[in-house]
A = this chain, B = another copy of it.
């Protein structure tokens, strides 16, 4: 899905002077997303994003310290939309549904590529690792722990592991198979879930 860089349908809302240009912000996020999905992380350069978004390089550097932060912005927005951690549920089905959504996200949703790319980049770059944890993995894990805690308290699930380990026992195989290009069928998610969080 390529967006035309120059001419937009509504001719780019008059720039807002002193304030940040929301159109430019969105153009950058979309360009980064598109480029990652279509050409991969290796081709994802700041110059390419600027070109694709029809934006000056300086505009990118003004607002993001690195391309990783751009991807994090899109990831945070997208994953909230596509597989939010349920904030209220505590039923087995609700929790299992969450992990199914996780598997779907990282294996089939284009936005899931962003997460895999960031986990990868975190291996190459400590600052990426820190940002990824501080802005994405950490907060999300917090919600996941709360979800599980509610489920346990409600007697819907149980585990012999600590919460983090239990989550990793399900999420780990999902992510690992996504990273190695293997599929993650729903039945596998369910088996992993039942193996560690049996009622």
Q: How many residues of A are in contact with the other chain, CB < 8 A?
A: 38
Given A161-B188, A161-B191, A191-B160, verify A119-B40 contact (CB < 8 Å): no
Given A123-B116, A124-B40, verify A169-B192 contact (CB < 8 Å): yes
**What are the interface flags for A156-173 relative to B under an 8 Å C-beta threshold, 1 for contact and 0 otherwise?**
000011001100110111
Is A16 at the interface (CB under 8 A from chain B)? no
Is A181 at the interface (CB under 8 A from chain B)? yes
Whether A180 pairs with B133 at a CB distance below 8 angstroms is yes
Is A154 at the interface (CB under 8 A from chain B)? no
When chains A and B are docked, how far (Å) is the Cα of A199 from the Cα of B126? 41
CB contacts (< 8 Å) of A191 on chain B: these are 160-161, 165, 169
* Interface of A: prevailing SS: helix
Whether A176 pairs with B180 at a CB distance below 8 angstroms is no
27 contacts between A and B (CB under 8 A): A40-B126, A41-B123, A116-B123, A117-B123, A119-B120, A120-B120, A120-B123, A121-B124, A123-B179, A129-B181, A133-B180, A160-B191, A161-B188, A164-B182, A165-B191, A169-B169, A169-B173, A169-B191, A169-B192, A171-B173, A171-B176, A172-B172, A172-B176, A173-B173, A173-B176, A175-B179, A176-B176
